[in-house]
Structures are given as C-alpha cells and as structure tokens.
Amino acid sequence: MSRHPLFPVLLIATIALAGLILGLTGDSWEDWLANAALALCLIPIGRASLRR
Amino acid sequence: MKPGTLRVWSQVHTWSSLASTAFLLILCLTGLPLIFHDEIDALGKAHKIEQWDEAQLVPLDHAVDVALAKRPGEVPIYLSFDEDRPVVNITSGRSADVPEAEMGFQPIDRRGAVAAGGGQTGGVTDFLLDLHKDLLLGQGGMYFIGLVGLLFVAATVSGIVLYAPFARKAGFAKVRRAKAPRIGWLDWHNLVGGVTLAWALVVGLTGTINTLADPITAWWRADALAHLTSGEGGAVQPYRSGLVQKAVANAMAKAPGMRPQFVAFPGSPFSSGDHYAVFLQGATPLTKKLLTPVMVDARTGEVDAIAPMPWYMKGLLLAQPLHFGDYGGLAMKLVWTLLDLAMIWLLGTGLYLWLGRIRKRAR
C-alpha cells in the first residue's frame, strides 16, 4: 500500500503542533521539546538545499 | 483529484494569497523585531531579578493613593504586579471606561511608595506593535488584519491541497533542479509551505483570534462576568482607599497557591460596576497564562464569586503566547525568526511564480 503524498507534511505538522502546545505546559524539558519539534520543520529545507 | 476541483483550489490559493500578500509582508517584517521585543526594550537598561521582604512593602491602597495624587481627578482602572520586582503598575483615567489612549500608567515601588522606572510608551517596539496589530488604523485596522489572517489560513490550506499532486510527482522535499528554473522555484515554494504548515496555521489563526480580543472580552463581560456577579448593575462604585489590599488578600485566601496578576477596578472593561476583579494566576506555566477571576464586592471587600475563565477566554489567553512565540526562551525566538524569514521567502516566491504564469499567458 502506497503512502499518501502528504503523509510527511502532515507528520511534520502534527509533531510541530504537539511541540507548540506541549511547550505551553512547562518551562524545562517541555520548552526543549517544543523547540526541537519546531526545528524539525526546518530540517527538510536544509536537506534540500544541501542536495545536489 | 478531479481537474475541476483542482482548478477551484488553485483559484482559492491564487486569490487568497494575492489579496493578502502585501499585508502579510508588513506583518512578517514588523513581526520579526517584535519576536525580540523584550531584548530590544531592555537595551541600555540594567535588569535584574530583585529580592524583597513582603513585610516591608506598603499596602496596595497606599501605592494607588500615591499614583492618584500625581494625577488629580482620575480614578484607578487597573493595578498589575511586576514579577521580578516589588512594583505595582497603576493605570488611571478620568473614568474607568476611558479609551486606552487616555489612560495614564504609573509604576510604583512598594518599598517606599515612590515612582519606579519603566512604563514609558512610544518606543520603537510600541510603534511596530501598533503597525503589526492594526496598521495604525485603530479598531477597523485590527479587524482588517483579522481578515488578512483568515485569507492566510485559506491560502495555506489550499496550498497544501494543491501540493498533494506535486508531491506525488516530484516526491517529498525534492527540488527538481534539472528542470526549468520555474519548476525549481515551484518545488521550493511547495517544500517551504509544506514543512511550515503547522506554524503558519497556528500563527495565522491565533493572530486572527488576537484581533478579536475586544469583542471576545465584551462577550465574556456580558455573559460569564454578568453571571458571576448575579447580574448586579447600576452605578459604578467610587474608589475608596483601604479596600484593594483587603480584596486581594481575600481573593488569594479563596484560591491557595495562586498569586495575583492584576486587579480590575469597578467599572473597567474587566470588571463589573460594583466589584474588584482580582485575576489570579497559577504556578505552572500553563495555569500562569489561564487567569482565574475572583469577584470581590467593592463595598465590603468580601469575595462574591470565583470561577475559571470560559473556553473562549482561555482560547484568547493562549492565543497570545502561541502567536508571539515568547514562551520557549531564546531558542524558540530564534526558530520563530527562521520560520518568519521562511514565510517572507514563501510570499516572494509565490508572487514570482504568479507573475511568471501571467507573463507566460501573455506570450
């Protein structure tokens, strides 16, 4: 069974959204997780720029 | 997807984007320095978290009286507490319902009931914030920005729908460099738009919610606040010195573990005509943002009612940090900056792609 073409986009969006909300609940590892989840959004951009 | 459906989504994407691009560019450009408004405002100022002995502080009423003595003929509207110094900020005006522009703001240090530093308005970040929230056009401008936010959400959702067939063809996060430059730019536009989806939707929706702060607060005042105060109305109770400290102490006694964030005086938009509304915040980062109002009788200083905020006020309170990204420290501010820059880039490439299509059609 082939994956839906939007699967990676929705997966990244779900993780980023979960991180954003989780970040509101605490000031320690919650913030760290929120920042990591948001930074995840930018990884595909960096990867595509490095690819030849 | 049928070609007809794709055409409809394409039209939605094109026109919602075109109608909002110029304004979104203003919002992204003004939003960029606003991410660091704390740091910019603190430039040139020594800032440290102070220690103090609660027993040595003057009562809140004394601080209010000192502030009012400097602005004769005015009444107190709000009293807010600084977190890192024993300073209360007194907002006053000719009456409790004057417009924001006519309100006076005085920070008072409770260690000696003397004027404290801070509270100046009119700086660069204030100007940028005004431009960002209403294009310097007041309430009408704010609603317009709300509409721009909704167009942005429509452009984002339609963009994702349109991305599906492209992602199937080119693969996720693939930029077809060997093809025509326009194809490459389209792939980049799709990639950046796709990966920033959640952030863009959150910032767009919370921005729109923030523009509706006044009607949402008015609704809360007419709905939940009226229930809390049992529909009592009539004339606004005049300010009497000696009740604020008692009101805050009684409110805190009803909600152990919570601390006051601000007090709304009778007749102000956040209270009724005959109550002090003491807004308490919890200890955790989340409950710190979700304020709990305690309604205190302005004649006796006794607590009349306490209730958590309704869902729509909680939504409004949470929309602010989610829009500004100021709750995750410097690291979050830096990521927010990169995402803002990505959004500016997305707007630019979107315009470039549209102009290219127009030129192609004209040939």
Residue with the larger pLDDT of the pair B289 and B229: B289
pLDDT at B224: 80
pLDDT at B231: 54
Contact: B198, A5; criterion CB under 8 Å: no
User: Which ipTM was obtained for this model?
Assistant: 0.93
A vs B, Cβ pairs < 8 A, gives: 102
> B221 pLDDT band (50/70/90 cuts)?
confident
Q: Give all strands (DSSP E) within chain B, no chain letters.
A: 75-81, 87-93, 104-109, 114-115, 259-264, 275-281, 292-297, 303-306
pLDDT at A26: 87
pLDDT at B7: 92
Q: Flag whether pLDDT at B345 surpasses 70.
A: yes
pLDDT at B45: 67
pLDDT at B121: 65
Length of chain A equals 52
Query: Average pLDDT in the A22-39 region?
Result: 92
Query: Average pLDDT in the B237-253 region?
Result: 93
Mean pLDDT estimate for chain B: 90
Contact: A9, B160; criterion CB under 8 Å: yes
User: Which CA distances in Å does A12 have to B173, B296, B332?
Assistant: 12, 47, 17
d(CA B334, nearest CA chain A) in Å:
9
Question: Per residue in B142-200, pLDDT tens?
Answer: 999 999 999 999 999 999 999 888 788 777 878 887 778 888 899 999 999 999 999 99
The residue in chain B having the minimum alpha-carbon distance to the alpha carbon of residue A17 is: B198
Question: Per residue in B287-298, pLDDT tens?
Answer: 888 899 999 999
Q: Does residue A30 sit at the B interface (CB-CB below 8 Å)? A: yes
Cβ proximity of B277 and B271 under 8 Å: yes
The residue in chain B having the minimum alpha-carbon distance to the alpha carbon of residue A33 is: B328
pLDDT at B315: 94
d(CA A45, nearest CA chain B) in Å:
7
Contact: B339, A41; criterion CB under 8 Å: yes
Question: Per residue in B263-279, pLDDT tens?
Answer: 999 999 888 888 999 99
Contact: A9, B318; criterion CB under 8 Å: no
Q: Flag whether pLDDT at B140 surpasses 60.
A: yes
Query: Average pLDDT in the B89-116 region?
Result: 92
Q: Flag whether pLDDT at A52 surpasses 80.
A: no
Query: Average pLDDT in the B61-89 region?
Result: 94
User: Which CA distances in Å does B183 have to B160, B174, B189, B289, B357?
Assistant: 17, 11, 10, 45, 12
Contact: A34, B160; criterion CB under 8 Å: no
Q: Flag whether pLDDT at B248 surpasses 60.
A: yes
What percentage of residues in chain B have a pLDDT greater than 90? Answer: 64
Q: Does residue A33 sit at the B interface (CB-CB below 8 Å)? A: no
- C-alpha B152/C-alpha B228 separation (Å) is 37
Contact: A23, B172; criterion CB under 8 Å: no
Query: Average pLDDT in the A5-30 region?
Result: 92
